[in-house]
Amino acid sequence: MKIHEYQAKAIFRDYGVPVPAGTVASSVTEACEAAAGGSFPVVVKAQVHVGGRGKAGGVKLAPDPAAVKKHATAILGMNIKGSTVRRVLIEPGIDIQTEYYVGMIVDRARRYPCLMVSAAGGVEIEEVAATTPEKIARLHIDPALGLRSFQIRRAARFLAIPKQAEKALAAILGGFYRAFMEKDCSLAEINPLVLTGAGELIACDAKINFDDNAAYRHPEYAALRDDAEAEPLEVQARHAGLSYVKLDGRIGCIVNGAGLAMATMDIVKHFGGEPANFLDIGGGAKAEQVTEALRIVTADPAVNTVLFNIFGGIVRCDRVAEGILEAMRRLDLVIPIVLRLVGTNEDKARALLAGTSLIACATMSEAARTAVELSTRGAT
Ligand code: GDP
Ligand code: MN
């Protein structure tokens, strides 16, 4: 789950990382009010869940109130890589002397959180990693020990931080690491962390992604979620209690259980097809959820075939069948629907579906192969 820069900065501030004193504005008037009374220049920053805002014209320095109005007018409503700017962050401009990169991810291969620092800050780190990887230092942190002081010294040396800023860097890296761990982040970045003309370190930009799997223990995530930034179908699915992830293929998959969803995507690919999504209706799905699942999957214009793969345990196959029939009554479905429905009450389900246009298959591989064939045919 992604959040906005201003939200990430508020979290970092709570952990002792210095950030500019900013105000969020959702209109030009609010932006002008936020800048009024303060000192200039201010910076006007687009708040969207995508990077590279600066290059896209979404970060502008305003030397005076008139420029704030001009930039806020231009930036609000701007489309940056598919995201519409609904808010801007107004902050006092920073007198930037040096830009550093500070980031943290979970290194799955090493099974440790990994702190990354680079003196090549301000630019996209993916580019630095691809062209000049030696410019990034990676420090793996044992969560049982935390960030060690020798690691902080190593980071400071690698960044060639001026001596008088070393203490500040230690506090920033310590707070950054604690925020990452305590907030269950999957990614955190300060790019750039800036050394000002006055020799102070401050987080000029901030990015945080939360690990969705930790949402259950972070009720505070909910208030930070911006549904306007998410894939609309994913938002609808979440509200219906379904877990849905949109992918690039053409076969819409509706499955019960995350493991079966994975297996279904694998078998679709095995037969040369591409899944259009991952959709898990969950263990105890009701007919209405199945209807909603079918509506969501078929709302994706890329989907030309639907594959149901249901292993009825707690989920009853007849309920799934009822949900499908209800969806067919309500929605104008013209694409083929292939089914593999086995387990609890499968006989009842078969009886319910008899005489419909649905294509029932006895096994998972037969269903997947059929769906791939129909999808390929539909695509040509
Ligand atoms: P991003 O492009 O989405 O990563 O947005 P950033 O917040 O990182 O801003 C991009 C670039 O704009 C930074 O790397 C800085 O060079 C510049 N910038 C941002 N804020 C300020 C500021 O307050 N003062 C100055 N001089 N430059 C800034
Ligand atoms: Mn940045």
| Residue located nearest, by CA, to atom 11 of ligand 1 | 54
pLDDT average, residue stretch 148-157: 97
Edge to edge, the sheet with strand 251-255 lists 243-246, 277-280, 251-255, 305-312, 337-343, 359-360
The answer to whether residue 326 is catalytic is no
Write out pLDDT tens, residues 77-93.
Answer: 999 998 999 999 999 99
Write out pLDDT tens, residues 121-142.
Answer: 988 899 999 999 999 999 999 9
Q: Torsion over CA of 371, 376, 377 and 380, rounded to 10 degrees?
A: 160
Give pLDDT, residue 245: 92
The answer to whether residue 189 is catalytic is yes
Residue 313 and residue 317: Cα distance in Å, rounded?
9
Q: Which of 6, 91, 99, 101 is catalytic?
A: 101
Q: Is 252 in the pocket of ligand 1 (CB under 6 A)?
A: no
Architecture of domain 21-92: 2-Layer Sandwich (3.30)
Q: In this prediction, what percent of the chain has a pLDDT beyond 70?
A: 99
Q: Answer yes or no: is pLDDT of 380 > 70.
A: no
Q: Answer yes or no: is pLDDT of 267 > 90.
A: yes
Q: Answer yes or no: is pLDDT of 315 > 90.
A: no
Q: Where in the chain is the domain with CATH 3.40.50.261?
A: 231-378
Q: Where in the chain is the domain with CATH 3.30.470.20?
A: 96-223
Write out pLDDT tens, residues 193-212.
Answer: 999 999 999 999 999 999 98
pLDDT average, residue stretch 271-294: 89
Q: Which token pair is 310?
A: 């249901």
Q: In this prediction, what percent of the chain has a pLDDT beyond 90?
A: 82
Q: How far away, in angstroms, is 28 Cα from ligand 2 center?
A: 23
Give pLDDT, residue 333: 87
Q: Does domain 96-223 have CATH number 3.30.470.20?
A: yes
Give the least confident one: 16-30, 53-67, 314-328. Answer: 314-328
Architecture of domain 231-378: 3-Layer(aba) Sandwich (3.40)
Which uninterrupted H or E stretch holds 99?
strand 96-107
Taking the CB of residue 301, how many other CB atoms lie within 10 A of it? 7
Give pLDDT, residue 378: 79
Residue 343 and residue 352: Cα distance in Å, rounded?
15
